[in-house]
Amino acid sequence: MTRSGAREREETPIEIESEKEQAMESSSITQPTTPAEAARSLFEGIGRHELDNAEQMWSPDAVDTFVAVGEFRGLDAIVGFFTELLAAFPDMEVETERILSDGSWTTVQWHASGTFTGAPFLGIEATGRRFEGLRAVSVAEWDDQLRIRQNTIYWDGADFARQLGILPPTE
């Protein structure tokens, strides 16, 4: 109390705020404990163009099938595909809309956008054009270490190609 009888206000040290921030930051990088958390972590990592921890996201013998593109077997092939994709679309953004989980399976509805200004993709030279709002669904099975065992991605490859100027527009 002060001399006037009023209570002194306790000052909150700055360290407490920084401790809160650290706790929030550390909680955002914790290891996933469910397939749904693993799926969210995977898509967030791809959205940040981070493939450094790919061995934690896919099992060594994983299979990713991109409908209208092809099948990629094994960690090296999958990482190679994503490396090529992100090099071709250096500003690519990926956002999840919805994640459903049932046992070891997840279904993720997501969308992406990006500009084809980088390296060639699937043998096609950059067009400089942008794709927007490409919607897709990924259906994945996760192993007991929360790594993808198999994943099928359903997306509108024709719309993607039209937006990039690879296919003629629909009329």
Domain of residue 139, residue span: 34-163
Residue 91's pLDDT is what?
98
- Residue 47 belongs to a domain with what CATH number? 3.10.450.50
The answer to whether residue 92 is domain-embedded is yes
The answer to whether residue 45 is domain-embedded is yes
The answer to whether residue 95 is domain-embedded is yes
Q: List, in order, residues 6 or more apart from 171 with CB less than 8 Å away.
A: none
Residue 29's pLDDT is what?
53
Intervals of the chain under pLDDT 70: 1-29
**Radius of gyration of the CA atoms of the chain, in A:** 22
Tell me how many domains the chain contains.
1
Residue 53's pLDDT is what?
87
Sheet hosting strand 130-142, strand order edge to edge: 70-73, 58-66, 148-155, 130-142, 105-115, 93-102
Predicted structure pTM score: 0.78
Long-range contacts of 24-33 (CB under 8 A, 24+ apart): 31/146, 32/146, 33/146
Query: By three-state DSSP, how is residue 77 classified?
Result: helix
The answer to whether residue 84 is domain-embedded is yes
Q: How far separated are the first and last CA of the chain, in Å rounded? A: 78
Q: Which of 83, 157, 74, 159 is nearest to 120 (CA)?
A: 83
Residue 170's pLDDT is what?
84
pLDDT in tens, 44-67: 999 999 998 889 999 999 999 999
Query: What is Dmax (Cα atoms) for the chain?
Result: 82
Identity of the amino acid at 135: R
The answer to whether residue 90 is domain-embedded is yes
The answer to whether residue 17 is domain-embedded is no
Q: Which of 28, 72, 71 is nearest to 54 (CA)?
A: 72
The answer to whether residue 122 is domain-embedded is yes
The answer to whether residue 99 is domain-embedded is yes
* Percent above pLDDT 90 for the chain: 77
